[in-house]
Chains A and B, each alone.
Chain A
């Protein structure tokens, strides 16, 4: 198991979890979000290739209404 911070909350994940797997589990379509891993933006095409590591900080972001 690994500990990963997702949107500020520490979560326990299985080893070899990809970012895409997390999105699929939460029913979040990859085209509707912005993914930042350890302060780096991850391109859509790379989401299934990125395996999360212990201590990673993952931000799943989206544009919302604002003034």
Chain B
């Protein structure tokens, strides 16, 4: 049976979404798409450094990959909305990741401004994927104002700490009526598998792949972990016990 993830008008058969930041060379980007099967990638909009122009990242993203421009750099809803409109007008499609950050140490998102931006952009026809601190109340409010999915963080961006917010993510998943995508802080494939075992619909990984010694293999490892976690979740995970639950019968022993 196909286990397709629907977000907006798109369907995804791969539940690993990837970022394009921090790669040592941009040529790795199509390679990690090939090795992982990831079907959606994030990118950022920035001023060109006129003294040292960087390349356009879009040239490296395969055509069949859904573009998910983020609003990084935005400090409030107004700035995020501006970035979203620019991205759509230049042909990036109508998917947008709301990323509103004022905290430069932990890069924690501003949940309040994110709700404001989500409300306006979803009314304006965007498929909004807001990135938030893992607060179940915020997640519910975002659903109410039209978010197509909700993206709670596992731990600070690039920290590799994994699912520090696990208990909150569990509650978010329990209450969710839209897909939940764990984004940020996922440092190992086992973190990604755990998120999927918990019932997350997808994960977004950037730093852990880009910073790996071999990003191509790491992307594949993450993809396999996401598949394993999802399969486990669908198969019905067992509860945890304090006492042992014998695997071999406790009767009929040879030596009584």
Q: Residues of A at under 8 Å CB distance from B?
A: 6-8, 26-28, 32-34, 36, 39, 41, 59-67
Does B44 count as interface, using CB distance less than 8 angstroms?
Answer: yes
B101 to chain A, nearest CB (A): 12
Residues of A within 8 A of B242 (CB): none
**Residue in B47, B72, B184 with the greatest tally of chain A CB atoms within 10 Å:** B47
A39 vs B56: C-alpha distance in the bound complex, in angstroms? Answer: 21
A67 vs B19: C-alpha distance in the bound complex, in angstroms? Answer: 4
Q: A62 is contacted by which of B45, B92, B158 (Cβ under 8 Å)?
A: B45
A15 to chain B, nearest CB (A): 21
Given A32-B59, A67-B20, A67-B22, 15 additional A-B pairs, CB 8 A: A28-B50, A32-B56, A61-B45, A61-B46, A62-B48, A63-B44, A63-B92, A64-B44, A65-B21, A65-B29, A65-B43, A65-B44, A66-B72, A67-B70, A67-B158
Contact across chains for A66 and B42 when beta carbons are under 8 A apart = yes
Nearest residue, chain B, Cβ from A11: B50
Nearest residue, chain B, Cβ from A35: B90
Q: Which of B67-92 contact A (CB under 8 A)?
A: 69-70, 72, 82, 86-87, 89-90, 92
**Residue in B21, B86, B87, B92 with the greatest tally of chain A CB atoms within 10 Å:** B86
Given A7-B50, A33-B48, A67-B42, residue A61 in contact with residue B86 (CB < 8 A): yes
A33 vs B207: C-alpha distance in the bound complex, in angstroms? Answer: 25
A60 to chain B, nearest CB (A): 5
Given A8-B47, A41-B86, residue A63 in contact with residue B69 (CB < 8 A): yes
Residues of A within 8 A of B23 (CB): 65
Contact across chains for B56 and A66 when beta carbons are under 8 A apart = no
Q: Residues of B at under 8 Å CB distance from A?
A: 19-23, 26, 29, 42-48, 50, 53-59, 69-70, 72, 82, 86-87, 89-90, 92, 157-158, 184, 204, 206-207
> Nearest 10 pairs between A and B by C-beta?
A66-B44, A67-B206, A67-B19, A65-B20, A32-B56, A65-B21, A7-B47, A66-B21, A67-B21, A60-B48
Pull 11 A–B residue pairs with CB atoms less than 8 Å apart, ordered by A: A32-B59, A41-B86, A62-B56, A63-B45, A64-B57, A65-B44, A65-B57, A66-B44, A66-B72, A66-B206, A67-B42
Contact across chains for B89 and A41 when beta carbons are under 8 A apart = yes
B160 to chain A, nearest CB (A): 13
Contact across chains for A59 and B47 when beta carbons are under 8 A apart = yes
A64 vs B60: C-alpha distance in the bound complex, in angstroms? Answer: 10
Given A8-B47, A34-B86, residue A62 in contact with residue B42 (CB < 8 A): no
A26 to chain B, nearest CB (A): 5
Given A60-B50, A61-B86, A67-B206, residue A32 in contact with residue B44 (CB < 8 A): no
**Residue in A6, A61, A63 with the greatest tally of chain B CB atoms within 10 Å:** A63
A37 to chain B, nearest CB (A): 12
Nearest residue, chain A, Cβ from B47: A7
